Amino acid sequence: MNDIAALESRIHSGIPLSRAMRFRICSLDGHAIRVEAPLEPNINVHGTGFAGSLYALGILTAWAMTAHVIARAGLDAELVVASATIRYRAPVTGDITCACDVEVPAAAAFVAALGGRGRARLALRVQIGAGPAAEIEAHMHAQAEATP
């Protein structure tokens, strides 16, 4: 199973809402992820992207990017969103896309802290839709899993 399929399966298994939203990873590398979901299951009464869906898809994108950084480093950790804010700028009228890039130095510092201290935080920015239509600033927290 490739990295995209494995990560998508992990998300769909652990976060069932992601399957209902039809969250799909389009591309993934060491420092960037692109995801999408169709508008139809994420629509609001105005026929545009539901704000809650935009937020959830953006958070899933940040979570997936951070989980991928951890896995590529060969580490195991519990991962949560410590805080996040979203800014809505324009309606999303088509399929919902999310993009998140992590800077190489930030990813390296995150991995070093997680491996050394057993915990780390990573700040990420997720752009949603064209323009972007919305943007999330998420602060991810990872705690190394205790070994038996």
User: 119, 49, 43: which is closest to 78 by C-alpha?
Assistant: 119
Q: What is the CATH number of the domain that holds 106?
A: 3.10.129.10
- Is-cis flag, bond preceding 132, omega within 30? yes
In this predicted model, what pLDDT tens digit does every residue of 9-61 receive, in sequence order? Answer: 999 999 999 999 999 999 999 899 999 999 999 999 999 999 999 999 999 99
Residue 60 belongs to what domain range? 3-144
**pTM of the full structure:** 0.95
With the CA atoms of 143, 114, 70 and 32 taken in that order, what torsion angle do they form, in degrees rounded to the nearest 10? 110
* CB contact at 8 A, 100 and 32: yes
Tally of domains in the chain = 1
Question: d(Cα 100, Cα 123) in Å, to the nearest integer?
Answer: 11
Vertex 73 angle, CA 71 and 74, to 5°: 65
